[in-house]
Amino acid sequence: MPVVRKFGHAWLCRPLLNVTRYQIESYAEQQGLTWLEDESNLDCRFDRNFIRQQWMPMASKRWPGLVKAINRTAALCAEQEALMEELLVAHDEKVVQPDSSISIAALGDYSANMQNALVRRWLKRAGVTLAQAQLQQLFSSVIDAAQDANPSIKLKMGEIRRYQGRVYIIPAYKDVTEWRGALSLNTHLVLPDGMGEISLSNAETGRGLNLRPPAENEHVCVTFDPEGRFAHPVGRQGKRKLKKLFQEYGVPSWLRRRTPLIFYGEEIAAVADLFVCDGFGGQECELVWHKHHSPSA
């Protein structure tokens, strides 16, 4: 347990780690302080309490220098961990990509021990802890799987998946395929499951797709279900299945049902962030998907 460590956007400090409980209680009594005692601290069914309440007093009588030795060892471990952190940061930058995925090719430049260390650090930053057997499964089933495979490992908070030479940690998304929302000109439509907002406006920002304005009889709506649908991107020959188009545009399989489809009436006019369909191109309107977070993280 470090004395100081990064904690989100702040620092978590534990200045009394090397001070004994007896010293703290003695000081509090001398100063006339009162405190609240957590009753669970006395429950020796918990290993930490058994060690503190029963094992440590007996061990300290047999080995009087035990506590000092433990503190020295802890300080040395903290120093070594800080050094490892300093040395591995540069390697993190080579392996971890801007979208928080891991590059399998970059990872392959390292030894097995370094690969394990770098992957564990990547998982830790995402709040994921794997046992050694699970880490081995991650390498054998996902990282080292055949190129044409679509492997994954299930987690409590989602899953780990691979796509186009990278490994991603995917949160547990809600099913939004049945969701449908009306989109009016010059307004923002809030999308489900934290996917942000989408707008169709006359304003030109250069951040979105350019479409013609909808006709009076064209009701504009947004959906997410690509099943069995076809689209014809502007400048291309003929219609193709959305599944094939998603593959061509490099959309991972887990995001294909989380990519907004914009309909003018009964026809797909655009697929957010990707393309405008033939017959719906223009310069009068701009479609912008305002994402609240990275959809692949």
Q: Cα–Cα distance between 244 and 248 in angstroms, integer?
A: 6
Residue 31 has pLDDT above 90, yes or no: yes
Q: Rounded to whole angstroms, how far apart are CA atoms 242 and 261?
A: 10
Residue 296: pLDDT over 70: no
Tell me the pLDDT tens digit for each residue of 98-149: 989 999 999 999 999 999 999 999 998 888 888 898 899 999 989 988 877 7
Burial class (CB in 10 A: 0-12, 13-18, 19+), 197: middle
* Confidence band for 40, pLDDT divided at 50, 70 and 90: confident
Mean pLDDT of the residues in the chain: 90
Taken in order of first residue, the domains within the chain and their CATH numbers are: 96-172 (1.20.59.20), 180-290 (no CATH)
Tokens read off for 264: 């003018």
Radius of gyration of the chain from Cα atoms?
A: 28
- CB count within 10 Å of CB 117 equals 17
Report the alpha-carbon distance of residue 50 to residue 61 in Å, rounded.
Answer: 16
CA 171: distance to chain centroid? 7
Alpha-carbon distance of 291 to 64, in angstroms, equals 59
59: Cα separation from own chain's centroid: 43
Does the pLDDT of residue 213 top 50, yes or no?
A: yes
pTM: 0.69
DSSP state of 175: P
Tokens of 248: 């061509």
